[in-house]
Structure 1
Amino acid sequence: MGLFNFYKSKGEKSVAPLPEPESKPYEGDLNKTKILAGLIKTPFEKRDDFWKDAFLGNVNDASFACGNPQVIEGPDGFPYFHLEIPKPNQPFQCYVIKHMVTDFLLQKGLGIVINAGIGNPDWVFSYGDILNFHLRNEFYSESVSWDLPKHEVIQEKEKILIGQPSEMLLPLETRLVMRGFLQTFGIHNAKLLLMNRSRPEGNLQELVFNLTPDKFQSEDHYESIMRSIGWFLPRHYSYVSMHETSFKADFLPL
């Protein structure tokens, strides 16, 4: 989770509202909503791992109200669907995260922010967190801590396997969202492959993009775009960039 003030640095900057996605009203678990309402009363400095586990254990099934505006831009520049704990004894249109994921979040390229009022929101899910929930039914997955160099180098005798990521790793909706994001920066020929490498820590699976510093205005611009790509991917994914000439026949359009 990233904690940051959605309104302090950006103001109430909104994205165009979404059409109503659901064919029938959502039905969430109001008991879990009550649990969340109690949890968010805990001061931020006292929200330990037990608090986080309780929050994540209830958040996907709970009933939420929608904020106004529906979609806001975070200080990181990415769009977030704004959910709020509904006010007691007031009618509201119900939104349930586990249904929203496949209804429109994946397709529209949205994260989620919960209670983005004055000060820190109660929780922030990136698009990659949402994708991980779609693929694994959990927002965050454990991962091996890889000691990777900043610039990847394939050793001469290193054993690697090259292919393309499956739908279970990178669904079509996510590819299209990432492609659209890169195109806004003038990157129209992004390509991708999946590389499996055998390392002492285990088998390393990496998404490899054909994005290299020579294709950008500066090294800083390149590094900024590469960091931004991480917002679209589950946090345990590893991704790198390599010159297309390294595996020219294996790179395919994103």
Structure 2
Amino acid sequence: MSTIHFFDANKSSSGSLGNLEKTINLQHLLEIPLRSRNQKWVADFLDNIDECNLQLAEPEVAVANDSFAYMNARTVDPETNFKAFVIRNELDRILSNGFGLVINAHKDQPDWIFSHGDLLNLKLRNEFYTDDSAFSEHGKDFVLPKDEKVLVGQPSEEILPAQTRTHIREFLAYSGMNNGKVMLIARNYDDDSTMTQDLIFNITPKMLATQDAYVQVMNTISWFLPRHYSIAGVDELSVESGFEQI
């Protein structure tokens, strides 16, 4: 990781203590070797990490190999003196800065890495990861037939908060796209049991130099969003209406 210094731990941390029981639970969980960490371990880890006492490490924020900025937190011994860093208490500040969060980056392999979207999902849905939602399944090719009836509108604040829009808009502008637009489409909207939705951006491969560059742009947008969201890029001229500025 490379270091950046625009997060002042002394000024920003609330310093209020988290849940001591969860801190001890987490300590025991991290004593389990990586090879022995199963799905139950993952569930227990996620149940405890958000309210336990952590500590900001040095550097407080670093840019990882994936080019995203992460706050750098590490676990602590409950018997030592430290300034507490509790994810729940610092969540708004982390999100406002557009960061992700890494746990114990000083190890050969970090114990966990949260994308910005994982933390956003904690804010929006009170969980890091959502399994069941109205969003389309990942991995399927996105096709929007002209004769298909779809409901088109703008994603609500509960789906795409203004702050997240800002982060994505600034990223797109940095990438040379100053006219980023978005819309939300719903299919099969007459039946709640079969309705699916997708976030659509006016970004297509022809707007970038290479297909790889396009994939990187879409992957970066995804990093800012909860993992269960399905996103796609569509030529703005191919739809009659629905797109609005991000």
Unaligned runs of 5+ in 1: 1-11
Corresponding residue for 2:199? Answer: 207
Instruction: Indicate yes or no: 2:213 matched with 1:221.
Output: yes
Q: Distance in 2 between matches of 1:87 and 1:184?
A: 41
Instruction: Indicate yes or no: 2:164 matched with 1:174.
Output: yes
Q: Distance in 1 between matches of 2:102 and 2:84?
A: 16
User: What code does the residue aligned with 2:162 have?
Assistant: L
Cα distance, 1:118–1:60 mapped onto 2, change above 3 Å: closer
Aligned length: 240
Q: Distance in 1 between matches of 2:172 and 2:102?
A: 23
Q: Distance in 1 between matches of 2:201 and 2:147?
A: 22
Q: Distance in 2 between matches of 1:238 and 1:216?
A: 21
Corresponding residue for 2:57? Answer: 67
Corresponding residue for 2:151? Answer: 161
Deviation of 1:212 after TM superposition, in Å, equals 0.7
**Runs of 4+ off more than 6 Å:** none
Q: Distance in 1 between matches of 2:80 and 2:225?
A: 37
Corresponding residue for 1:240? Answer: 232
TM-score (norm 2): 0.91
Which among 88, 104, 115 is matched to residue 104 of structure 2? 115
Give the match's secondary structure for 2:237. Answer: helix
Corresponding residue for 1:252? Answer: 244
1:158-178 per-residue CA deviation (whole Å, 9 max, x = no partner) reads 220000001000111111111
Deviates more, 1:160-169 or 1:67-76: 67-76
Q: Distance in 2 between matches of 1:193 and 1:95?
A: 36
Q: Distance in 2 between matches of 1:91 and 1:72?
A: 24
User: What code does the residue aligned with 2:137 have?
Assistant: W
User: What code does the residue aligned with 2:243 have?
Assistant: F
Q: Distance in 2 between matches of 1:230 and 1:124?
A: 15
Cα distance, 1:156–1:187 mapped onto 2, change above 3 Å: closer
Deviation of 1:220 after TM superposition, in Å, equals 1.4
Cα distance, 1:149–1:28 mapped onto 2, change above 3 Å: closer
Contact 1:17–1:69, Cα closer than 8 Å, also in 2: no
Q: Distance in 2 between matches of 1:97 and 1:189?
A: 34
Corresponding residue for 2:137? Answer: 146
Contact 1:82–1:115, Cα closer than 8 Å, also in 2: yes
Question: What percentage of residue pairs aligned between the two structures are identical?
Answer: 36
TM-score (norm 1): 0.88
Deviation of 1:62 after TM superposition, in Å, equals 0.4
Corresponding residue for 2:174? Answer: 184
Instruction: Indicate yes or no: 2:32 matched with 1:27.
Output: no
Give the match's secondary structure for 1:202. Answer: coil
